[in-house]
Structure 1
Amino acid sequence: MNNFMDTLVWGNTVMELGKVLLLLALSFLVIKIFQLYILSRLRKWSALTTTTWDDFLIKQVSDSAVPILYISAVYVAITSLKLPERVEQIAYIAYLVAFAYFVLRAIGATFRRFVYTFLDTKDNSEAKRKQASGLITIVTTMIWVLGGIFIVDNLGYDATTLITGLGIGGIAIALAAQAILGDLFSYFVIFFDKPFEIGDFVVVDDKNGVIEAIGIKTTRIKTLSGEQLVCSNTDLTNSRLHNFKRMERRRIVFSLGVTYQTTHEQLKAIPGIVRQIIEGQDAIQFDRGHFSSYGDFSLNFEFVYYVLSPDYGVYMDKQQAIYLDIFKAFEERGIEFAYPTQMLFTQSTNAEVTPSKE
């Protein structure tokens, strides 16, 4: 029996292999008990709380910490044996890569969760989540790049040389892709300064439409005519942009003209008539109304009111209702609207011919 236990297998006795396998089995058993009892109880407890962060942390423990425990148990068991240096090096690299993978995945998930939790406290959170996708992609990429440098450094390579090379390469790329980097920085300006968001109605130069998507390089606008307008982020941040979604109320100025045959009493009554019509509409605030000028063919009035809604459809409905009521009121009172006309006065004269003398 002793001779069998002392038998060498890959440079290790059967006794040593048995101890390692027993240690590995016990480690797996402890981890499994931790999963079945402790984690399951924590899940039940977190389901009773109002916050969701505890559910997230438990999920990260289950998805990242538990695999790391299994991998660590296997690695400790392997390093307990007498193995060739090449095998030990391969085992170390595999363990380091697996460990870094699960840690970096947990860090990325935590950052994503933090951003989404912050955005959920804001209005229109679903649109803001879409807008933040570019930022999350950039930060996640940076996390994985740093993780790669960490792995290279722990493998014994000079990370300083790698970082220096990346820096020189980064300068070359920056010079070759200035426009792309400009759009990238403009994306950060849009994300943090928020001149517009997804769903806002904007006017840029002679183009207008609703913001449909905000990407790392471009922003997509759904125009009123139906097509998709793609603009670079730099163009938008450098332009004078009108954001009608931020408008709390809409100021309306309109004029109307009546004929010169309108009587003084009718002219005096017009501001009151129109004011009464405007104030009779819901969500409308009357500002002023005056007899403003004498025109070439009309007596002109100017009126100002506010629509207490930024919605363009509401504005058009209210304006139509006001115009129809004005037309009806003027028709009932015999007040005529002016339109371009010319009045020609003619005068006939009798020409007297005096005979000439010779």
Structure 2
Amino acid sequence: MAYRTFFLAVASCMLALLSPPAAAQTLAAPEPAAEASDAEPQPDPFKRETPRSTVTALLQALADGDYVRAANYFADGADGTDADAPDASILDGEAAALARRFQAALDRGGSLTPFAALSNDPEGQLDDGLPADLEQIGRLADEPEPTPILLERLSLEDGTAQWRVSSQTTQAIADFVPPEMVTETDEAEEIVVGGAPWTDWLLLIGIAIAAFIVFRIASALVLRLLRSALSEHEASPVYRFFQAALPPLSLYLVVVTFYLVSADLPVSIVARQTLLRYAGIVAWIALAWFALRLVDAIARVLTGRMHRAERRQAATVVTFMRRGAKVALLAIAFIAVLDTIGLDVTTGIAALGIGGLALALGAQKTIENLVGSVTLIADRPVQVGDVAKIGDVFGTVEDIGMRSTLVRTNDRTLVSIPNGNLASDRIENFALRDRFLFNQTLGVTYDTDADQMERLLAELRAILQADENIIDDEVRVRFNGFGDSALHVEFFAYFRTRSYPESLAMQETLLFAIMRKLDELGIGIAFPTRTIRLQTEQTV
């Protein structure tokens, strides 16, 4: 699983990298809108509304090799008053050279904050200890201390605001990379793939693969040492924990190692930042994988303890909570991956408030079944393993899920009953009986006289009173009527057991004792008979 997950992420990266880049172009200035006091501000064509969108669009421009477009993301590249088009200073070679020096500074060991950690709020991150109009998005590998790369929030006359690389950072770049160190032919001899030299892609992917192999071998060695150290390793909770945790944990450590090693490498910032973004997706997958395995391991331990303590309802609650926790973890991981990809999950989550009503109307049965499952767990009319009759279904409860309950019938068929129906249906739980009823009617033949009947009743009462499995409080043996073909004797008693198979064995022993007593007394068991009298007339 770890191999497939990792190489799927790498394959996604390569597909994104090998796709043909957009043609380099400079956005043309739109026609100026008619001045009106109530005119709505137009969206920024360069996507400089938030720190995240600014950094993403700037990196795309650098990857496309469009340094004229990239110059629009620097505070010194425009006058800050026209949000739609660069002014004359941007269109000259000096402004484009500024973007080149910025890329060169990052390629020489500078770093940018990973995509997922960049603020997607138009106001930026307000609790970072910086002024409200500044946002740190990375650092330059300067000596002796790294120089922070800052974005500056510029307010325009139309009421909008834009995030651009600050003048302070622009000056630091000019000092860090002199203009004579960057020429337009620097990359002419390099084979560029996705905006970066192919050797940089190869180096970074090689680091990731090497880290993956190292941690995979290390996890295999740890498991091998545990197997040799523990005599019964399969039954050991320590071994089972490491066996479940090491595959996703090793995958997460691969991502951490890649972050640490590649952060200061003198490779293309485009290649580095792109792979770090996809590595963030792999990290979320590894964390979700680890959490799911941890939930399963904890649930198995708790369920085993509940079964040993015969707390079957508690085991059902653990199973229900395990499923709920896994659903929540998958939802969190899914949202995190979407956010790392760049989809606006905030809008989607807000839309759930509006779509919640429509979802509730369309999923009434699902909600009813979910509420029914909560009711079953709270009221505990049945538990897993109970023999019960639910409506007209008789069998053993095998599973109480979030939507339905599974019942195994005596015919070995599996019946699924929606929890919404089960919570409102009639449930007869045979497993909750504290004793089993012995209620039989014995028919003896009509040739039994009154004295024999009295002696028979006394002997039968003695048999029940001597039986250790019978609860003495409510024992009854009575001659209760004349039937069509027999004299009826009724037995009423309770067996001292909660097990149905044990009650059958006790009943069998008692019936044999009754049969032997009837043979001893010479009294026969009646069966349906009919006596027909024929009268004939004699003729002379």
Aligned positions of 1:1-358 closer than 5 A: 28=211, 35=218, 39=222, 43=226, 47=230, 52-59=236-243, 62-80=246-264, 81-83=266-268, 85=270, 87-123=271-307, 136-153=322-339, 158-191=344-377, 194-256=380-442, 263-279=449-465, 283-286=469-472, 287-291=474-478, 293=480, 295=482, 301-335=489-523
Using the alignment, how far apart are the partners of 1:109 and 1:224 within structure 2? 35
- 2:448–2:523 Cα contact (<8 Å) kept: yes
Structure 2 alignment gaps of length 5 or more = 1-180, 532-540
Q: 1:223 to 1:144 in 2, by over 3 A?
A: closer
| Cα distance between partner residues in 2 of 1:246 and 1:151 | 48
Q: Distance in 1 between matches of 2:530 and 2:196?
A: 117
Question: Structure 1, residues 265-294: CA drift from partner, whole Å, max 9, x if none?
Answer: 434433331123335656444442244645
Q: Offset of 1:63 from its aligned partner?
A: 1.6
Shift of 1:98: 0.7
1: distance between equivalents of 2:477 and 2:219?
81
Task: String of CA shifts for 1:47-82, please: whole Å, max 9, x gaps.
Answer: 379994433453455323332232233344444335
Which residue number corresponds to residue 33 of structure 2?
none
C-alpha distance in structure 2 between counterparts of 1:326 and 1:57, whole Å: 59
Q: Provide the rounded CA distance (Å) in 2 between the counterparts of 1:59 and 1:333.
A: 71
How far apart in 2 are the matches of 1:33 and 1:260? 87
Q: Deviations over 1:62-113 (max 9, x none)?
A: 323332232233344444335254x444223201101111111111111111
Post-superposition offset of 1:258: 5.6
Q: Distance in 2 between matches of 1:207 and 1:36?
A: 50
Q: Go from structure 1 to structure 2 and tell me whether the alpha carbon gap of 1:299 and 1:146 turns closer, same or farther (over 3 Å shift).
A: same
CA–CA separation in structure 1 for the residues paired with 2:257 and 2:219: 18
CA distance in structure 2 between the partners assigned to 1:328 and 1:138 by the alignment: 59
Residue 179 of structure 1, CA deviation: 1.1
Q: Which residue of 2 aligns with 1:349?
A: none
Do 1:46 and 1:54's aligned partners in 2 also have CA atoms closer than 8 Å?
no
Stretch deviating more after TM superposition (116-125 or 34-43): 34-43
CA distance in 1, matches of 2:216, 2:337: 31
Range that drifts further, 159-168 or 109-118: 159-168
Question: How many aligned residue pairs are there?
Answer: 331
Query: What code does the residue aligned with 2:495 have?
Result: V
The 1-side partners of 2:515 and 2:249 are apart by 76
State the SS of the aligned residue for 2:416.
strand
Q: Distance in 2 between matches of 1:182 and 1:273?
A: 58
* CA distance in 2: counterparts of 1:41 and 1:342, whole angstroms: 82
2: CA distance between counterparts of 1:165 and 1:217?
Answer: 25
State the 1:35 CA deviation.
3.0
C-alpha spacing 1:296/1:73, structure 2 compared with 1 (3 Å): closer
CA contact (8 A) 1:203 1:241 kept: yes
**Range with greater deviation from structure 2 (163-172 or 153-162):** 153-162
> Which amino acid in the other structure matches residue 268 of structure 2?
L
Measured against aligned partners, the alpha-carbon deviations of 1:183-234 in whole angstroms (never above 9, x if no partner) come to 2332344456543334322112343122344444333333334544332222
Shift of 1:301: 4.3
Q: Contact (CA 8 Å) 1:190, 1:196: kept in 2 or not? A: yes
Q: Which has the higher helix share?
A: 1
Which residue identity does 1:43 align to in structure 2?
Answer: L
Q: 1:183 to 1:53 in 2, by over 3 A?
A: same
| Contact persistence 1:281–1:318 (CA under 8 A) | no
* Counterpart code for 2:278: A
In 2, are the aligned partners of 1:292 and 1:300 still within 8 Å (CA)?
yes
- Structure 1: where are the runs of 5+ without partners? 1-5, 344-358
Say if 1:42 and 1:224 are closer, same or farther in 2 by CA, change over 3 A.
closer
Aligned to 2:175: none
1:92 & 1:69 partners in 2: Cα distance? 14
Q: CA deviation at 1:157?
A: 5.4
Q: Secondary structure at the match of 1:123?
A: helix
CA distance 1:39–1:220, change in 2 (3 Å): closer
- Tell me if structure 2 keeps the 8 A contact 1:131–1:215: no
Change (3 A) 1:36 1:219: closer
Q: 1:89 & 1:181 partners in 2: Cα distance?
A: 44
Cα distance change, pair 163–42 in 1 and its aligned pair in 2 (3 A) = farther
- The letter of the residue matching 2:332 is L
Distance 2:267 2:425 in 1: 69
- Mapped to 2, the partners of 1:300 and 1:61 lie a distance apart of 70
Shift of 1:114: 1.1
Q: Percent identity?
A: 20
Return the alpha-carbon distance in structure 2 between the equivalents of residues 291 and 74 of structure 1: 87
Deviations 1:229-255 (A, max 9, x none): 332222222222122223242022234
Letter in 1 for 2:389: V
